[in-house]
A = this chain, B = another copy of it.
């Protein structure tokens, strides 16, 4: 099992979700994060004081998948979020030791 984490643009969330559901992913967890990368932040000026906001709002998606879903998941995320512009985001894949579904106590691939 792998835990796939993607950092994407907020406006792409609905698209990613649809594509993931299409390829059979049944669960995911998202959160609001701030990203720092090649995409620059912005400057705000209030009464002459400049504030450099170096972080850009991003959405983090975490999906636990079975090993055979890894490639299709990465493909699905990439295809639905790529615009070719800086700031499209990144995907990180981590090895997942164990998964437990709290409700049933199921573990492993069953629990995903």
Contacts and interface: CB of A to CB of B under 8 A. Distances in A.
* Protomer copies: 3
Instruction: Tell me the dominant secondary structure on chain A's binding face.
Output: strand
B30 A38 contact: no
A62 to B, nearest CB: 8
Contacts of A85: 103
Given A29-B34, A30-B34, A92-B96, 5 more contacts: A3-B94, A27-B37, A91-B98, A91-B100, A92-B99
26 contacts: A3-B94, A6-B102, A17-B36, A27-B35, A28-B37, A29-B36, A29-B60, A30-B55, A31-B31, A64-B90, A78-B100, A78-B102, A81-B102, A82-B103, A84-B103, A88-B102, A90-B100, A90-B101, A92-B96, A92-B99, A93-B98, A93-B99, A94-B95, A94-B96, A94-B97, A95-B95
